[in-house]
Structure 1
Amino acid sequence: MHDDERERIIAVSELLHSAAAQLRVISALDWPAEARERFLACDGAELPEVEYEAFDPEPIVEIVREARRRIYPGLRVDNWLEEQAAVIERSALMLAGVGTERFYAHNRLIYGTPTEPLRYDPSTPLDLANRVHEVLVELRALDLDVNSVPDRSAEDVAARLQSAVREHFGDAAPEIVLVDELSAKARASSTKIRLRRSARFTDLDAAQLLNHEAFVHVATALNGQAQPHIRLLGDSHPGITRTQEGLAVFAELMSGTSDLDRLRRLADRVVAIQMCIDGADFIELYRWFLDRSPSREQAFESARRVIRGGPITGGAPFCKDVSYLFGLLEVSSFVRAAFVMGRSDLVPLLFVGKLDVGAIGALAELSFEGLVVPPLFLPPWVADPRSMLAFLTWSTFMAVTDSEALTESLRRVLADLPSLASA
């Protein structure tokens, strides 16, 4: 790659970096605490009243316009830069439409919808969510004692996390902070992991948060910010959400810190987004979550995640939470394909910064040219991939094995055996 080409790519990346840095999507969609207090005080009888601050997209659109003048579509790296330009511009237009159906018109194209097929596969997130629910019903029929009790306080979890992140990140370790208002139980940046003070956690949650928030979200943020040339990789704009959340959930599975309740919550969010698309308003979503939540407060937060940014009357949800199942399948498929093809050298590229899995080809070229440097921080299951290799080998074997006949045969045998549950 010639020096002038390197300079052009770096310049385009800098422009897009300056545009993406102005996007603060989640904070722009926050609700005041009073909205929850008033709603719960009237026992969920009246729709919350929420106003969003106006957002002017033009400064971002103008920067993107300038970046596009320097992009030459057709080249792999340029195609990636054009994709980044498009999603950054659309994200700005999305924020300009908060509180209206325009918000949904843009965010559905960024995050996907429950009924949108996966890349290279006709399955949809809604199909996956419904299948998760079906499996959970089957497991409940077995009366297995696998429910996790949320008996840990945020203070307890914070103490465990702080010790673990110091050990992994050293001087770069994020601070663990307790906050009063947060739509999720936790949210991470490169410098802080915030925990909702009122949240209760299970015995698995601390380890799950460590692998999800710290070993993925914090690590990719720090790795991206450490990139000396392509600083765009340090920006958490909506276009990278699917892969980042999918990678974080994949990390939970690889580390053995996920559980059935976690998978149910991910599936619930996909179903709720589809309910909102079909017309459910905030009250209907709240009542649906109320039957599936440990408290009224948690049901409120779950409904808020779905409808924030769009009209409170429904029909135009925030589709971000579709990304988790979407991304999980894409990331796991990429990792498995990389090992099957003998290209395990590409897996660490998932951690060089904030990126979409579709960018791997461009990032491989940029890495070869020295414009992208290796990640500073990797999760344990990537740094020492032995257990992941065993899992991927087994899953690859199962993917090409027809085990239905064996399963059916064993099902008939097991059906005739006495129950030992009460023995």
Structure 2
Amino acid sequence: MTETKIRYQQDIRRFSDELIRIQAPIKILDTIKWPRHVEDHFLSQQTKSLPKIEANFYDNVPLSFNTDNTQQELKQLRTAIIKRLGKQDKLGKILIANVEQYLIVIDMLNNRGKPTFGKLSQELYGSASHKLHGDRNTLRQLGDRLSHIFSLPAARHMSKQHPKIITAPQAVDHLSQRLVNYFHDDQIHVKLSDGIVSDAAVGGDTVKINTRAMFSESDMNVYEVHEGWVHVGTTLNGRAQPHATWLSVGSPRVTASQEGLAVLMEMLTLSSNPGRARRISDRVSAVDMAEQGADFIEVYRYFRNQHLSSKDSYRVTQRVFRGGMVQGGSFFTKDISYVRGYVENINFIRSAISSGLPELIPMLFLGKLAIEDIPVLFEAYQNGLIAQPKYLPPMFKDISGLYAWFGFASGIGNIDLKGVQRHFARSFSKVTINTQEAELFEDAEFDNNSD
């Protein structure tokens, strides 16, 4: 190995570790979350008034870092990267992109409860009015189509009941056992938490379980692959990098790739269900309504009219208004990332296959990355600067099965589905469903709430 390459590796490691150190206290969700009692009060009031969240509420939730000092450190790091690596260095550009994201994050958090918060959120996470690469439809249009599919009578009829009979302490034990088997070389943590609003959340190598929640076996399946295999897995894969350790932490630019990959894993392992899938799809509609000026109650009532429970309607709405303004005009757009990222991950895999580059596919698990980073990271991997992912789900270790699955999916993509559906609709016209059984399924409530 040449001395020049050794120095370059050392530079990448030094800049990576410095970025990790600077961003460590920046906790976006912790600084915009609402107390549980706000939900209890709102639902008890039967939506007579907006949740009691004003701009001064966030003034009483101090940031865990000095914004001026942190911004100055980030700017100094950006200057150092450019000076040492040059403006055209490919890995340097990725580092700089993450640095610049954190600068915007700090500005956004400084504007909690104000109109500027929403504008900066759109800059970081995008908007429901944006279109996917190569598609003419907006994310809202795609979200509406998916919400419709997962609201059809068939979704209710085929969805099995998932009784929530697992307590939070039992969920910790269940999930710990599963993840210990998967992460055989690293210590991971599953613990109870009173400090999260969702039923489950991840921070680094720790999965947090809400002490007040009850869980189903379906929830355990989702959390294992979504929170565990993807979110914890990419963290540990990033930490295992000898030089590019920044891959263990994620700025907002990686959110769509991460959340989309997590949802894709739910689908590939058949862990999800129509209720869970609908919750994810509904989030796009909630973001779009908030972007169009709707206030909290208007969005909440929209979902109640779509036959969501009061709790589910509150939570999908609350996710979009946290950090913003409940009276409208400011919002948090992160929730478009699930649908957007899901589609982008699928399109990436299909394109890698059709381009004759299936070797790119496991790179999705390399760490916290944006999909557009993968060609550069794969080149660095081939040059010995990046290590291959330490932990990979079974279907990504041997991608021949994925190749076949996506190959068939691409091959039948041009079939006229409307004509096929008309054909089968005629044969289904004489089929009846037991009314009592259908009502039983329709009464089943699906609540799979993870962040």
Flag the 1:120–1:54 CA change in 2: closer, same or farther, 3 A: farther
Q: Which 5+ residue runs of structure 1 have no aligned equivalent?
A: none
Residue number in structure 1 paired with 2:384: 370
Residue number in structure 1 paired with 2:12: 9
Determine if contact 1:154/1:178 at 8 Å carries over to the other structure: no
Determine if contact 1:223/1:234 at 8 Å carries over to the other structure: yes
Determine if contact 1:335/1:347 at 8 Å carries over to the other structure: yes
Amino acid at match of 2:72: E
Q: Which 5+ residue runs of structure 2 have no aligned equivalent?
A: 436-451
Cα distance in structure 1, aligned partners of 2:367 and 2:315: 29
Determine if contact 1:183/1:301 at 8 Å carries over to the other structure: no
Query: Does the residue aligned with 1:122 lie in a helix, a strand or coil?
Result: coil
Residue number in structure 1 paired with 2:343: 329
User: What is the TM-score when the length of structure 2 is the normalising length?
Assistant: 0.85
Q: Deviations over 1:77-107 (max 9, x none)?
A: 2332232222121112111111111111111
How far apart are 1:184 and its partner, in Å? 2.3
Cα distance in structure 2, aligned partners of 1:412 and 1:42: 45
Query: Does the residue aligned with 2:212 lie in a helix, a strand or coil?
Result: coil
How far apart are 1:402 and its partner, in Å? 3.0
For the pair 1:26 / 2:29, whether they are aligned, the reply is yes
Residue number in structure 1 paired with 2:73: 63
Determine if contact 1:235/1:354 at 8 Å carries over to the other structure: yes
Determine if contact 1:154/1:195 at 8 Å carries over to the other structure: no
Residue of 167, 177, 182 corresponding to 1:163: 177
Determine if contact 1:111/1:323 at 8 Å carries over to the other structure: yes
Query: Does the residue aligned with 2:388 lie in a helix, a strand or coil?
Result: coil
Residue of 281, 284, 290 corresponding to 2:298: 284
Cα distance in structure 1, aligned partners of 2:343 and 2:292: 25
How far apart are 1:320 and its partner, in Å? 0.6
How far apart are 1:148 and its partner, in Å? 3.8
Amino acid at match of 1:259: N
Amino acid at match of 2:128: P
Flag the 1:171–1:324 CA change in 2: closer, same or farther, 3 A: same
Give the alignment of 1:264-343 within 5 angstroms: 264-291=278-305, 296-343=310-357
Flag the 1:412–1:167 CA change in 2: closer, same or farther, 3 A: closer
Cα distance in structure 2, aligned partners of 1:402 and 1:252: 26
Give the alignment of 1:158-197 within 5 angstroms: 158-170=172-184, 172-197=186-211
Cα distance in structure 2, aligned partners of 1:123 and 1:210: 32
User: What is the TM-score when the length of structure 1 is the normalising length?
Assistant: 0.90
Cα distance in structure 1, aligned partners of 2:400 and 2:382: 26
Residue of 233, 249, 255 corresponding to 2:263: 249
Cα distance in structure 2, aligned partners of 1:142 and 1:270: 20
Residue number in structure 2 paired with 1:421: 433
For the pair 1:208 / 2:218, whether they are aligned, the reply is no
How far apart are 1:173 and its partner, in Å? 4.3
More displaced, 108-117 or 285-294?
285-294
Cα distance in structure 2, aligned partners of 1:125 and 1:91: 23
Residue number in structure 1 paired with 2:106: 92
Query: Does the residue aligned with 1:188 lie in a helix, a strand or coil?
Result: strand
Flag the 1:402–1:96 CA change in 2: closer, same or farther, 3 A: same
Determine if contact 1:15/1:64 at 8 Å carries over to the other structure: no
Flag the 1:36–1:106 CA change in 2: closer, same or farther, 3 A: same
Residue of 177, 188, 199 corresponding to 2:213: 199
Amino acid at match of 1:94: M
Query: Does the residue aligned with 2:329 lie in a helix, a strand or coil?
Result: coil
Determine if contact 1:19/1:88 at 8 Å carries over to the other structure: no
How far apart are 1:142 and its partner, in Å? 8.5
Flag the 1:344–1:94 CA change in 2: closer, same or farther, 3 A: same
Flag the 1:240–1:102 CA change in 2: closer, same or farther, 3 A: same
Amino acid at match of 2:333: C
Determine if contact 2:111/2:117 at 8 Å carries over to the other structure: yes
Determine if contact 1:305/1:318 at 8 Å carries over to the other structure: yes
Flag the 1:342–1:34 CA change in 2: closer, same or farther, 3 A: same
Flag the 1:408–1:161 CA change in 2: closer, same or farther, 3 A: closer
Cα distance in structure 2, aligned partners of 1:183 and 1:33: 7
Determine if contact 1:338/1:347 at 8 Å carries over to the other structure: yes
Count of matched residue positions in the alignment of Structure 1 and Structure 2:
420
Amino acid at match of 1:407: V
Query: Does the residue aligned with 2:207 lie in a helix, a strand or coil?
Result: strand
Determine if contact 1:273/1:317 at 8 Å carries over to the other structure: yes
Residue number in structure 1 paired with 2:43: 40
Query: Does the residue aligned with 1:144 lie in a helix, a strand or coil?
Result: helix
Cα distance in structure 2, aligned partners of 1:298 and 1:142: 17
Residue number in structure 1 paired with 2:445: none
Flag the 1:285–1:153 CA change in 2: closer, same or farther, 3 A: farther
Cα distance in structure 2, aligned partners of 1:28 and 1:323: 19
Cα distance in structure 1, aligned partners of 2:305 and 2:262: 27
Q: Deviations over 1:171-197 (max 9, x none)?
A: 524322233342322112333211223
More displaced, 229-238 or 405-414?
405-414
RMSD over aligned CA atoms reads 2.6
Cα distance in structure 1, aligned partners of 2:335 and 2:24: 22
Cα distance in structure 1, aligned partners of 2:75 and 2:430: 70
For the pair 1:153 / 2:166, whether they are aligned, the reply is yes
Determine if contact 1:114/1:322 at 8 Å carries over to the other structure: yes
